[in-house]
Structure 1
Amino acid sequence: MDFNQLISELLGGNIVILLLAAFIILCIFLGVRIVPQSEQHVVERFGRLKSVLGPGINFIIPFLDRVAHKVSILERQLPNASQDAITSDNVLLQVETSVFYRVLEPEKTVYRIRDVDAAISTTVAGIVRAEMGKMELDEVQSNRNQLISEIQRMVESAVNDWGIEVTRAEILDVALDQATREAMLQQLNAERERRAQVTRAEGQKRDVELQADAELYAAEQDAKARRVLADAEAYATQVVAAAIADHGLAAAQYQVALKQVEAISAVAKGDGSQTIIVPADAVDAFGKAFQMLKGHT
């Protein structure tokens, strides 16, 4: 056999082996798919959905199957969106919203909707306008949590056919137009003034009540003092009566003489003239009083 012919046969056989090895390596490369934990891959066969590959090592048929879409299953946040809404009492609001979602069924997401972010944003805007139109301004401010829950529920129902789950919907801000803000500021100032007037009126009422309580207390104390004085006078009268009953007329004359002495002493202490007019029988009264005093001592 010619040497050149032998070399040619060897090279031809090696090329076939090399080509076969390359083909096997290519098949392995095309048939083995390693999917990351955060993704799912949508496989098509001749343009039609074949399967969805989950995280880990997966096998497909080379040249027949191909990975058409690589879909992230991580939670996503839509860009903050702002839309106008009108409440039932005709107040114009500018509502800023934020939505979080994640893909649960990639085959629905890639085959049923072209731009899922834009679709969700449009859906949220429509639902927000509809819900705001059912409520008055005060209800929007006081029932924000309830409104957020209702918006999330309705968004979830609307996007269910797209294979996604809305994990959270937030109303970040509710802004009023300038005219409404000024009107609310005037209302707030009026309410503050009303509360201040009520506070002042309550303070005045309290002052009157305290003054009345003080006057009542003073009257009660005066009445108590009068009762004590009356009790003392009654006791003195009882003592005199008992003395009269025990000693007869002498005790009565003694008390009368004491009163006369006290009256003359009071006249003598006055700021008027130092001349004292003494009744004709005053000497006798003094004498009797002194005698009685001596008798009692």
Structure 2
Amino acid sequence: MNIEDLIGQNLFLIVLAIFIIITVMAGVRIVPQSQKFVVERFGRLRAVLGPGINFIIPFLDRVAHKVSVLERQLPTMSQDAITSDNVLVQVDTSVFYRILEPERTVYRIRDVDGAIATTVAGIVRAEIGKMELDEVQSNRAQLITQIKTLVESAVDDWGIEVTRAEILDVNLDQATRDAMLQQLNAERARRAQVTEAEGKRRAVELAADADLYAAQKTAEARRVSADAEAYATGVVAKAIAENGLEAAQYQVALKQVEALNKLGESEGSSTILVPANALEAFGDAFKMLKGR
């Protein structure tokens, strides 16, 4: 074997080794955790490769699509909608989704983001058109749930899972805002008037209750006084009935003497003037007391 044959043989072995290395490298595919590979053979779907080391047939199979399975967020979308009470609103929405079945996504829809955005816009307009403005503002959570459910149903054939749908804001045009502000101010004024009227009515009720309470207490005091006078009269009548008229006269005389003593004991009283008939009454009282 001459040198030329040896060189040719070695060159063949080198080329064969390079071919084997290239073939092995072409048949091995390492798929990242965040992706899936769609493999085609002669233009047709052959397999979907998951994360890790995968093997394909070199030169027959090829990786046609590398699809990320991470959750994606569509850009914030704004669309006009008209409520059932004919109010024009601008709704800002955002949708989060991820691809579960890449083979369905790549072969059934060309622009995934655009298709989802169009679907969301149509669903938002349809759902808001069924609601009044106050319901849109107060039932936002229910509206979001409804939109998410409808979007999931619409994109199910594309191998996509809608993980979350959000209504970021509901904006009104300036004319509607001005009208709502006027309505709000009118409502505040009405509530203030109602509150003031309620306060006045309550004040009148409290004043009437106070007058009624005072009248009741005055009547009770008069009733107690009348009961006391009636009791005293009854006691005197009973004494007269049991002891005769002299007992009553004795009590009267006793009270007159006590009154005279108190009058004489008061400060600055050195001279006491009494009518003549009063002296006769006192004299009779002293006689009765001596008789006792």
TM-score normalised according to structure 1 size: 0.87
2:2 and 2:148 mapped to 1: Cα distance? 78
Query: What is the match of residue 57 of structure 2?
Result: 61
Q: Given the alignment of the two structures, is residue 111 of structure 1 paired with residue 107 of structure 2, yes or no?
A: yes
Cα distance in 1 for partners of 2:202, 2:80 equals 50
**Alpha-carbon shift at residue 292 of structure 1 (Å):** 3.5
CA contact (8 A) 1:240 1:251 kept: no
Q: Is the 8 A contact 2:254 2:289 kept in 1?
A: no
RMSD of aligned Cα (Å): 2.4
List per-residue Cα deviations over 1:163-212 (Å, max 9, x = no partner). 11111100000001111111111111122222222222222222222222
2:142 is matched with 146
Query: For residues 25 and 144 of structure 2, what CA distance do their matches in structure 1 show?
Result: 49
> After alignment, is 184-193 or 96-105 more displaced?
184-193
Q: Name the stretch that deviates more: 127-136 or 231-240.
A: 231-240
Aligned positions, number:
280
Identify the match of residue 22 of structure 2 among 17, 22, 26.
26
Change (3 A) 1:16 1:149: same
List runs of 5+ in structure 2 lacking aligned partners: 260-272
- Determine the C-alpha separation between the residues in 1 that align with 2:130 and 2:67: 38
Indicate how the Cα distance of structure 1 residues 75 and 286 shifts in structure 2: closer, same or farther if over 3 A, else same.
Answer: same
Amino acid at match of 1:18: I
Shift of 1:255: 6.1
Q: Tell me what 2:265 maps to.
A: none
Among residues 148, 154, 161, which one is paired with 2:157 in the alignment?
161
AA partner of residue 112 (structure 1): R
Distance 1:295 1:110, change over 3 A: farther
Supply the distance in 1 between the matched residues of 2:183 and 2:146 (Cα, whole angstroms): 30
2:44 maps to what in 1? 48
Q: Report the Cα offset of residue 245 of structure 1.
A: 1.9
Distance 2:10 2:278 in 1: 171
- Structure 1: gaps of 5 or more residues: 263-275
How much has 1:118 moved relative to structure 2? 0.7
> Which of 209, 214, 236 is residue 213 of structure 1 equivalent to?
209
Aligned to 1:76: 72
Task: With the length of structure 2 as denominator, give the TM-score of the two structures.
Answer: 0.88
Q: Distance in 2 between matches of 1:283 and 1:47?
A: 147
CA 1:136–1:250 in structure 2 vs 1: closer, same or farther (change >3 Å)?
same
2-structure distance, mates of 1:258, 1:218: 39
Taking the aligned partners of 1:225 and 1:291, their CA distance within structure 2 comes to 39
Q: Distance in 2 between matches of 1:293 and 1:183?
A: 98
Q: Which amino acid aligns with 2:85?
A: D
2:95 maps to which residue? 99
Contact 1:86–1:92 at 8 Å: present in 2 too? yes
Q: Are 1:11 and 2:12 counterparts?
A: no
